[in-house]
Each structure stands twice: as C-alpha cells, then as structure tokens.
Structure 1
Amino acid sequence: MKRAFIKTLLAAGAALLVAQPVLAQATKLRLAHSGAESETQHLAALEFAKQVKARSNGTLEVQVYGSSTLGNDNTAIASVRGGTIDLTTSGTPYYTGMVGRMNVLDLPYMFASTEHAYKVLDGPIGRGLLDELEGNGMKGLAYWEVGFRSLTNSKHPVRTPDDVKGLKVRTTPNPAHIKAFQLMGASPTPMPLAEVFGALEAKAVDGQENPVNIVRNNKFYEVQKYMSLTRHAYTAMPVVMNKKKFDGLKPEQQKALIEAAQAAGTFQRELIKKNEAADIAFLRSNGMQVEENVNLEPFRKLVAEPIKQMFVEKYGPQLIDAIQAAK
C-alpha cells in the first residue's frame, strides 16, 4: 500500500511538471552607438530597451553598447549590414554613401526649425528615405536626433563666415557638410566622433561642428575655447536593424520595435529641448565663450543655395520642394 501511494504521488508530480508552460527565452538584440553614456542618444537607447521589453511582453531584450565599444559609426553600420550587430544608430551623414537621396536632410539651412524637421522626418518623406535603406540590408525603424549643428574652435570667436577662413574643422563625411566649410574657406576633415577629442587635443584640427549637448557630453569644452551657434545644418539619427533579423521576427515583435524606437525618439527630442539652456550655461561655466546671437543670414547666403543646386543636379528638385512645402 505504501509503495503504491508513493508511485501515485510521483506520477501526479510528473503530470504537474508537464502541465507547466515552458517560458520562452527572450531574444537578445545588441544595439551599438558612438555616444557617451551621458549623451541623449545613450539615454534614448536605454529608453528604447525598456520600451522594447514592455511592448514585446518580454520576448525581446535589447542590450545597449555605447561609446563606440563595438566600433565607430562606420564599423557599427557595416556590422549591422553583415549581421554581427543587430541594431545601431548614427547620424544621417553615415548613411548617405548608400542612400544618396538621404543627403537632402543634411543640406545647410534646409529646416526652419526643429518642428519643421520633425514634420518631415515623421511623415512620408522621412519614412520613404528610411525604406530606401532596405536595399542595403537594413530596416529603418525611426529617427532619433543629433540636432542643429554649431561650430566650436580653439582659435577665435566666429561671428561671420570670414571668421571661419583658414580653420581646420572636423566634419562628418557628408558631402554637404564638407562643401559648406569649403565655401567658407575652411579645411574640412571628416572623422568618426570617437576620434574627435584626441584630434582637437593634439591640434590636428582647430574645431568641430556638433550640437550643444554633444559638445558638453564629449567634454569638447576642455579643448575648445569658442562656440558659435551657427545652426548651419540639422542632423537626424536613423535607428536601423539588420533586415534579415527583423524579417525573421513575429509581426507583433516587429511592431513593438518600431513603436519603441519612435517613443524613444520623442523621449530624446524632449530631453534635448529641455536641457539646451542648461548645457550652454554649463559650457560657459567651464570657460567657453558662446556666441548665441549669430547673424545667420551671411552664412545661409554663402552656402545654402550652391549646395542645394548640387543636390538638385544629381537627384532633381522634388525632395527639396516637398520639404519646403512642409514648413
């Protein structure tokens, strides 16, 4: 009787184990970017990871690797295309070698305001440009933000285009950015963000151009004396994923990724807007001379139209006309 009772208990226990649902292990995705941990793109990446986990009911888990730990911008994009990294985010200049029409977003003084930029990026123009990345093995999820670029240097204040002449300026590899500084008489030098501080410190370049928050969070104020809010170009930051990996996910997981990327983008935009005045005050308190009220018209007159015509000659006027109509 005792032996039979034990057998019955064991059988019941086995049946109970079989009846328990087996919890699926979350699919882990690696996201790489070049920003420092204090930068808004890193904070947006952490918000994205949180949103993905919640929206996918825990079936997806994003691991964030910042500060170029998995490679600089070019390396991370190549790794996403090759499938060794799942996701990355970089400024649009790093994608325009593959999708030339995306260069329209980087043309000098193309956007009248951040609101104008958001309307374009979040609408059919922005979505269409993201979709063109699919031919290069990437799925565009959403746009995050680098923001409006301004000039810093270690030589002297910049108040007019003439003040830019002769400066060696680090730029992105974007043709529009390079041409703009050539037109102002500077010597543009493209390089990845991870190399910029060292180049400024070694005096290999005199200056660089990035938004206020990036100047602060990369500690460029330690090696730059002057900043002028030229706001000469806006840079968006596409979030992209290996297309094959994306296509292999369930539709509800794909939806979760896209919606999480959009939500994290909104989170970042609000953070940048809220912090800009404090960032400028911080730079001043750390010894930078910040020219806030720069007369932008001479800069716009010198660079906007010639570079716009370069784009029109190659791709036609349709995209530019559509962006201007969205004001």
Structure 2
Amino acid sequence: MMKKKYCAVLTAALILTAGLSGCGKSGQQGGDGGQAANTTSESITLTFGHGQAEGHPYQLAALYFKDLVEEESGGQITVDVQPNGALGDEREMAEGLQMGTIDISVAVAAALSGFDQSMDVFNLPYLFDSREQAFQVLDSEVGQDIFKNLESSGIKTFGTFDLGFRSMTNSKLPITTPEDCKGLRVRTLESSVCVDALGELGMDAVAMSFSELFTALQTGAVDGQENPLFTIYNSRFYEVQKYLSLTEHFYPVCPVMVSEITWNKLSAEQQALVADALEKTVAYERELSGQELDKMLEGCKENGMEVNEVDKALFIEATKPVYDKYQAEFGDIVEKIQAAKAE
C-alpha cells in the first residue's frame, strides 16, 4: 500500500490535508500551455472537498471517483475526500482551488458569481424545464463556454453534479399560487438574482449564510427557505417547517472543479486519467441523484411535512420581470441557453 503524503495548510483555522500543490513533488512544469512534465513514480494525493454529508450523492460520487482513480493509477494517485464543509464553505473551497490548497471541489453557481459574474445567469427562475434539459444545455458547447470563464480565475470545470430543483418550505401556509408568497420572509442564496426573483413573488427575500439558516427558521427570524429536497431532508428542516411546496423555481447548477495549479502539476497521462474518472463520476452522481429524489420527498412526508404541487405557469409568469431586469447583463447568454434547449 502506497504511503499518502500530507501537507498542512492553515486556512481560517482549518488544517487542510494533503493538497497536491503543496506536496513537494519532483518533476518540472511543462512548456506550451502550462502542461506538466511530472514523470516521477512518486505518489500523489488529491484532496476532494465538498459541503454535503456522508450519505449525500456528492459524497458517494466523491468516493466513486476515489476508487476509480486509485485503481486506474495503480495506487500512484490517492484521493482524500473531505465532506461536511470540513475545508470551508463552497466559496472558501473555490478560493482554495485558486490557491492550490484544495485540488477538487463542487459548488453551486451562486457561490461562484464572485469569480465570474456570468455564473449568476443560472440563478434565473425557471431557466430549465427538467433535469434532463439542464444536463443537455450544461453539457453542450454553450454550457462549456460559460464555464470556461472560470479558467481566468484558475479553476477548470469537468461537468456538473445534480441536486434536483429548489422548492419552497415555510411555517405559515401551503404555497399554491404566487399570491400565497406575499409577505413571507424567506431565506435564499446570496445572489441578487435570487433575491429579485423571489421579490417578484412578493416575498421578503433575505440572503443568508446556510450555516445560520436552521436557527433562523427555529426562532422565526425567517418564515421559510428554498432548497433542493436533499438539503430539506438531510438538514431536518421538517423539524421547523410545516409546508413543502414543489415550486421547483431554481435549478442549482453545480460545476465540478479542479484547481488549475493542481492540473498543471499532473502529467499528460495523469490528466487523462483524472478527466476520464471525473466524466464517469458526473454520470454516476446524476443517476444516483435521480434515484434518490423520490426517497427524499417521501422522507419529508414521513416526518410530518405537508407537501403540495403548484401550477408552475403562474410562477413563471410572475417572475418574468426579473428577466427584463437582467436583460442587459445576461440577455445574450439566455438566448444561447434557449437555443441549446431546442437542439
């Protein structure tokens, strides 16, 4: 069994383990395009950090990636999976990718808008009609072109994980029409697009860190929140929220990312191995996510939540003004996304 190498990196009082970039490997940087020329047989450890719990599809997919890479590399490359936000929140982990203190991570696009403002286009309401349609667009040339903008921040992307759509919960009443939203104080992502979209429904939308959310719901500081079913169930929001309305208003786009510093330290052979493993991992996570979504919904029901469907056409119509507001900023990208949906 090959010995793992660990490197301590102090970030916000966390000790990050075993980033490839800090592990002092021999071998030189390559020439054209920054490609690496690491041809040593020295073992490498890749740190894969994410913010979800052990039973979440993210974690199962990360472990799947670990098994693939370690087997295909004959143990030369090992993977240290760090779940539960152990390495920071999604934005902090993205910053870790920039610095090379984290090698691989996944984050919702809203957490990445600070690196590339075009990521905020994915926070527009009802941008996709289904998970399958989202996959079609995100895997297309249009989707890839949008993600390429992150490369200027030192982040490479390799497909997107799936969380399913975001839906609304609250402690006051079932939401069946936009009228029911009026006056509800609801937490959303730290994105002006998300705040504005919910504002069009008459909600008092509050951008708040996820770490503060459960307490805010428990104390009544906010009436509700909106998240994918995985988050609603695994975070036990059913303990502090009575009503779950399947509005499915946002599709969270979650790119799988690799530090460019890390990537350029891999040999061409290692890059091909990691890229292939990530492609297989994305397919695996999406399939797993689809299988688990119904279980998450049943789990919410079994724990006392009242679940209701909505007429999405009413919500789509009510949130149209947000597209007008961001036309100058995202209009061209939205047109390309609409064209990719039709292909």
Q: What TM-score comes out, normalization by structure 1 length?
A: 0.87
Deviation at 1:174, TM superposition (A): 2.3
2:34 is aligned to none
Give distance in 2, aligned partners of 1:142 and 1:54.
22
Contact in 2 for aligned 1:36/1:218 (Cα 8 Å):
no
- Equivalent residue runs for 1:1-327 within 5 Å: 24-291=41-308, 293-303=309-319, 305-317=320-332, 319-327=333-341
Instruction: Spell out, residue by residue over 1:75-123, the C-alpha distance to the aligned partner (whole angstroms, 9 max, x if none).
Output: 2122221222222111111112222222222211111211110011111
* Cα RMSD after superposing both structures: 1.8
Where in structure 1 are there 5+ consecutive unaligned residues? 1-22
Give distance in 1, aligned partners of 2:129 and 2:137.
11
Contact in 2 for aligned 1:72/1:192 (Cα 8 Å):
no
CA gap 1:88/1:185 in 2 versus in 1, 3 angstroms: same
Give distance in 2, aligned partners of 1:190 and 1:256.
39
Give distance in 2, aligned partners of 1:195 and 1:55.
41
Give distance in 1, aligned partners of 2:326 and 2:268.
37
Where in structure 2 are there 5+ consecutive unaligned residues? 1-39
2:11 is aligned to none
Is the partner of 1:166 in helix, strand or coil? coil
Deviation at 1:209, TM superposition (A): 0.9
Is the partner of 2:253 in helix, strand or coil? strand
Contact in 2 for aligned 1:147/1:236 (Cα 8 Å):
no
**Higher mean C-alpha deviation, range 80-89 or range 110-119:** 80-89
CA gap 1:29/1:295 in 2 versus in 1, 3 angstroms: same
Contact in 1 for aligned 2:163/2:289 (Cα 8 Å):
no
Is the partner of 1:147 in helix, strand or coil? coil
Query: Computing the radius of gyration over CA atoms, which structure comes out larger, 1 or 2?
Result: 1
Identical residues among aligned pairs (%): 35
Deviation at 1:136, TM superposition (A): 0.8
Amino acid at match of 2:209: P
Is the partner of 2:336 in helix, strand or coil? helix
Contact in 1 for aligned 2:140/2:340 (Cα 8 Å):
no
CA gap 1:325/1:228 in 2 versus in 1, 3 angstroms: same
Amino acid at match of 2:314: P
Instruction: Spell out, residue by residue over 1:161-185, the C-alpha distance to the aligned partner (whole angstroms, 9 max, x if none).
Output: 1211222212111222111111112
CA gap 1:313/1:279 in 2 versus in 1, 3 angstroms: same
CA gap 1:131/1:281 in 2 versus in 1, 3 angstroms: same
Number of paired residues? 302
Amino acid at match of 1:301: E
Contact in 2 for aligned 1:142/1:258 (Cα 8 Å):
no
Structure (1 or 2) with the greater helix fraction: 1
Give distance in 1, aligned partners of 2:100 and 2:84.
20
Deviation at 1:59, TM superposition (A): 2.5
Q: What TM-score comes out, normalization by structure 2 length?
A: 0.83
Amino acid at match of 1:323: I
